[in-house]
Structure 1
Amino acid sequence: MKIWFDLSNSPHINMFHDMIRDLESRGHEILITCRPLANTIDLLKQKNLEHHVIGEHYGKNLYKKIFGYPIRVFQLKKFLKQKNIDLAVSQSSFHSPVVAKLLGIPSIYTNDNEHAMGNIPCFMFASLVLIPENLPVEKIVKKGGSRKRIRQYPGVKEGIYLWQKGAEIHAARKANPPDNKTIYVRPEPLTAQYYKGGLNFLDSTLEALQDKYSITILPRDKTQLEHYRQSKFSAIRVPEKPMHFDQIARECTLFIGAGGSMTRELAILGIPTISVYQDELLEVDKFLLEKGLMLHEPNIEPKKVQYFIESLENKDPDLQLMDKGRQAYDMFINEILKYSK
């Protein structure tokens, strides 16, 4: 079977890497497309995944997104037309199910962000929609999904690809405990259509803390890279290329995330995590907060960070979520293999 993955944003690489290698080991052919958004291309190169860059990202402006949407759909359709694809698989690629429909092939689509407008055509056209168990089916139905084509998977999306790493990372942290001074920060998703929160709102807190702690900013794009390389952040490390996730997870005393998958990744691994997301929380974030796996402090101040670090107790990975991640991974693989000829 020839399977097309459209990895259109940075988190998709970690999510699908092991699954892609697994499918390849079973004899299936994989074709990957992507677009130049955030750290996507750098991460694909880091993981040695062969890929084709198709189209571009049109920024946060809604009108540019609407204009650019059919352009990339057409570009993907043209590129894939003679590729003899059997199945399309994607996470939050708003183009994939539509292109698959135009090509006359089935598609599997998954998303855990119920606020993104781009989901609507995907929910309408995907052959199968997979959502986490904590996201009510009714919310997908209201946005065009057919109840018959929706299935819920166990746990949260991040567990699908972290279940194999949880115990290993925790053992490494126990063998070499973090130094209680290492903070990693992932800024806000400034180009995302769904994000309505503030920009650069962490600046004053980071300036106040940079001489007390070892702070690393994990920028989403060149705009954030340039912003945090200003002289006022001189004591903060801002790597130009994406860091390996395992290194972050092993070194991190505290993770501060302004939304997105990385915040949830660190939280379910039992690493102290504060979400500073300033927009309406997703159902999956509410679930993690209820389980006590992270805090939510949208207007965090330096004193709060210092107090939190001083009172830290290293947690074990949530083994239930890790086990559910393994179950969800098996479910994804089985659903994909159902389309094998």
Structure 2
Amino acid sequence: MSGDPQRVLFDINHPAQVHLFRPVIGDLESRGHETLVTSRDKEITTALLDAYEVPHECLSTEGGGLLATAAEMGVKGARLFRLARSFDPDVVVARPNPPAIYVANLLGARTVMLRDTVIPSRVLRACYRGLMLPFVDDLCAPAGFETSLTGGRNHTLGFQELAYLHPDRFEPDRDRLATRGVATDEPYFVLRFAAWEAYHDVGGAGWSTEGKRALIEELDQHGTVYVSSEGDLPEEFSEYELTVPPHLIHDLLYFADLYAGDSQTMATEAALLGTPVIRVNSKVGAHEMRNFEELAERGLLFSFRDEERALQQARDLVAGPAATDWQRRRRELIADKPDVAAYLRDLILDPDGVERRRGEAPITVASS
């Protein structure tokens, strides 16, 4: 691995990316490398960065609709170019997005992009492949993704959430939740409902309003219900709205008796923490990700297109005997997986030697 200090720019556009990149940022800085974090004001992204005391430069605010998003990308690209030109990065790390990719190429920086979202629209997939992938040097994605680059390298990287949820990096704390009024020794359930407004959600759907109502009414009979919503929460559910700060969400998920929702990321996080997961999502089946299939095969997650079947599964889980060793299943899965954060660190610093990391099982890396 190169011993020369490097300048690495992380472009963060979504709350999940805060969690994903934070341990890598800390690792790089502890080794004497310089980092710069740029952010987008989307949902709780900037609030999370502030809570974790990660210095960042906010470049834009999420727009509503295609035209507003296009205008935002233009503004963000101009601001990112000015900031990055001053910082002079060796590497730009992000989820694939035009401003980060194009600015990196203009400045001669290497690009490390991480993808984990299925794009169902053929038109959007064509734009993605034609307008962004040709300019990416290293692209990481879970197994089964269509990630062929025209001039770079493809890296198969499984559960990216293990970068921050691996037991070596995350230790749940009951006391942090107790100060927020959460009794971890009593049954409680966490629900997460997506807004379905992102470009990759086009044509997709999750729990209906009627389904949400039935789910909450059922779970409310067995314990406390906490609801987290990406969009505005209907007034009828306001009494269940989650008040725990976002940076404690993984503590909340770990001690929960059940997670249910239609969010992709939080469903994965809950399963990797050993919490039973019920996921309702129209992408189940035709556009399913391999990660969710593996979690289902290991008995950590139940996915449904039909919310009536999902509701029955919820009833069975909360009313039945709690004999299943969910934590054992979690440990068995993690034991089979590599250290994602260490892999990303090595890929950023030394892409040619990334397969030679000592003490790690090899990760499939295929050059296009």
TM-score in terms of structure 2 length:
0.78
Tell me the alpha carbon deviations over residues 225-278 of structure 1, each in whole angstroms, 9 at most, x when there is no partner: xx24x1x22541332742503421333110013122111011122210111122
Please tell me whether the aligned partners of residues 182 and 214 of structure 1 are also in contact (alpha carbons under 8 angstroms).
yes
SS of the residue corresponding to residue 307 of structure 2 reads coil
Distance 2:184 2:244 in 1: 23
CA change 1:205–1:31 in 2 (3 A) is same
Q: 2:77 aligns with which of 63, 69, 73?
A: 73
Q: Which residue of 2 aligns with 1:305?
A: 314
Structure 2, gaps ≥5 residues long: 1-5, 176-182, 353-368
Distance 2:257 2:294 in 1: 23
Shift in Å at residue 207 of structure 1? 4.7
Q: Which residue of 2 aligns with 1:53?
A: 58
CA change 1:283–1:119 in 2 (3 A) is farther
Q: 1:164 aligns with which of 162, 167, 170?
A: 167
Q: Within the alignment, does 1:205 sit opposite 2:214 as a pair?
A: yes
CA change 1:55–1:187 in 2 (3 A) is same
Query: Quick one: which amino acid aligns to residue 326 of structure 2?
Result: K
Shift in Å at residue 216 of structure 1? 0.7
Q: How does 1:121-200 map to 2 (within 5 A)?
A: 121-132=131-142, 134-136=143-145, 139-141=146-148, 145-146=149-150, 148-153=152-157, 155-164=158-167, 168-169=171-172, 181-195=187-201, 196-198=203-205
Distance 2:96 2:152 in 1: 20
Distance 1:15 1:276 in 2: 24
Structure 1, gaps ≥5 residues long: none
Q: Which residue of 2 aligns with 1:219?
A: 229
SS of the residue corresponding to residue 55 of structure 1 reads strand
Q: Which residue of 2 aligns with 1:96?
A: 100
Shift in Å at residue 47 of structure 1? 0.7
CA change 1:243–1:236 in 2 (3 A) is farther
Q: Which residue of 2 aligns with 1:338?
A: 350
Distance 2:160 2:55 in 1: 24
Query: Quick one: which amino acid aligns to residue 200 of structure 2?
Result: Y
**Percent same amino acid among aligned pairs?**
20
Q: Which residue of 1 aligns with 2:29?
A: 24
Distance 1:339 1:151 in 2: 11
- Aligned pairs, how many? 323
Deviates more, 1:43-52 or 1:297-306: 297-306
SS of the residue corresponding to residue 85 of structure 1 reads coil
Please tell me whether the aligned partners of residues 270 and 277 of structure 2 are also in contact (alpha carbons under 8 angstroms).
yes
Q: Within the alignment, does 1:38 sit opposite 2:47 as a pair?
A: no
Distance 2:313 2:265 in 1: 23
